Amino acid sequence: MSRLLEVNGLTKRFVAKANWYGRPIRHVSAVDDISFTLDAGETLGLVGESGCGKSTTGRLVLRLLDPSAGSIRYDGRDITGIEGSALRDLRREMQLVFQDPYASLNPRMTIGDILTEPLMLHGLVPPAKRKERVAELLQMVGLAPFHARRYPHEFSGGQRQRVGIARALAVEPNLIVADEAVSALDVSVQAQVLNLLKDLQAKLGIALIFIAHDLAVVRHIADRIAVMYLGRIVEVAPTRQLFATPRHPYTRALLSAIPVPQPRAARQREMLTGDVPSPIDPPPGCRFHTRCPFAIDRCRQETPAMQSTGDGQEVACHRWTELPAAAPLPATTDSAGAARLARLQARFVQSTEVPPLSR
Ligand code: SF4
């Protein structure tokens, strides 16, 4: 697979406080010096608690926000500072699927108009062929061509998310950033939308950055996972490996937080204590030291660099080699998310059937 995206030292600072004259006197680093790569057709899961900077990362990659520092290379080109028509052209190749499908669709437009808009904006399909293309897009996401005449409020949450995906696909992108794309949906509908995304990705070869806080959901779709904490990436690993041998104490705690059906297993869990510190005034050294059960003095003073574990994982922790092995996830827990989704798939995903809507 060829390299599609290369992010180096990406940082985004927002103004947290300004003086009387409007000059910034305090900043908050939503994303702080992160680096990662993405291959064509690959899915990278970005996970972490609320406020860890994962959505900001997605928007930086799409150039919806300007980075404060660092670089973004897309398909071999440096896109960090591009503007104007070059940025407009780039937008065709990168698309965003939002968390709230209802808020992201104009309620006054029919689904047909919503899907036609990007085709017109980018001059992709001649006017005579647009209706045909809209019908094709609707069918790709399991909706019917006659739905083009409907308005967003006439659809369920899952159907609206399908429309959101169809709109993203309309411009034939190389990269989609799905920002908590299934978080607002019922668990049964989540499975449908996840499978739809997976199928479309396999068929069309689109790379995906899948942002979510639920590791069980990310596990179902991601090839690799990057774990974020307070604006930094603390661990990156292939999905299976991350679940088998989590190296960073924060990743271990996140995995422990996956619901466990057996009380014995529950006793072995490494639970997170305390709140996430304020990003306006992050702790010095390792940002996780205020909640880490393995913290030592060095952690409070020195920021851990990202280092390779030699087996395909990368981790930012001073003590990863010394830590006792994480308690293995119980068999049923280990696959709890996948099993739950598999059950739901069996029940709901055999079809991409659309609940009846009268014509
Ligand atoms: Fe914990 Fe120290 Fe590792 Fe940070 S560097 S995760 S505080 S052990």
Cα torsion 131, 134, 139, 143 to 10°: value is: -100
Q: Structure tokens of 259? A: 């619901």
Q: Can you tell me the distance from the alpha carbon of 206 to that of 299, in angstroms, rounded to the nearest whole number? A: 39
Only one residue has tokens 């005034």, namely: 281
Q: Three-state SS for 251?
A: helix
Residue 249 Cα, ligand 1 centroid: separation in angstroms?
A: 7
Give the per-residue pLDDT at 353.
Answer: 43
Fold of 40-52+87-352: Rossmann fold (3.40.50)
Tokens of 148: 């083009």
- Ligand 1 centroid–CA 42 distance in Å is 30
Q: Where along the chain do its domains lie?
A: 40-52+87-352
- Measured by CA distance, the residue closest to atom 3 of ligand 1 is 317
Beta strand ranges found along 186-327 (DSSP E):
207-212, 224-229, 232-238, 307-308, 314-315
pLDDT for position 69: 95
- Residue 248 Cα: closest atom of ligand 1: 6
pLDDT reported for residue 355: 47
What is the best residue among 291, 299, 301 to mutate for testing ligand 1's pocket, by most ligand atoms within 8 Å of CB? 299
Give residue-wise pLDDT tens across range 253-310.
998 877 766 666 555 667 777 778 888 888 999 999 999 999 999 999 999 999 999 9
Q: How many CB atoms lie within 10 A of CB 355?
A: 8
Q: How confident is the model at residue 280, as a pLDDT? A: 85
pTM of the model: 0.87
Q: Measuring from each residue's beta carbon to the nearest atom of ligand 1, which residues come in under 6 Å?
A: 248-249, 286, 288-289, 292, 294-295, 299, 304, 317-319
Dihedral angle over CA of 186, 192, 193, 194, nearest 10: 100
pLDDT at 50: 86
Positions of the chain with pLDDT under 50: 332-335, 345-346, 348-359
- Measure 295 CA to ligand 1 centroid, in angstroms: 5
Distance 242 CA to ligand 1 centre (A): 17
Q: Are 294 and 249 in contact (CB under 8 A)?
A: yes
Please, what sign has the CA dihedral across residues 148, 154, 159, 163? positive
Burial 25-63 (b: 16+ CB within 10 A, else e): eeebbbbbbbbbebeebbbbbbbbbeebbbbbbbbbbbb
Supply the pLDDT for residue 359: 47
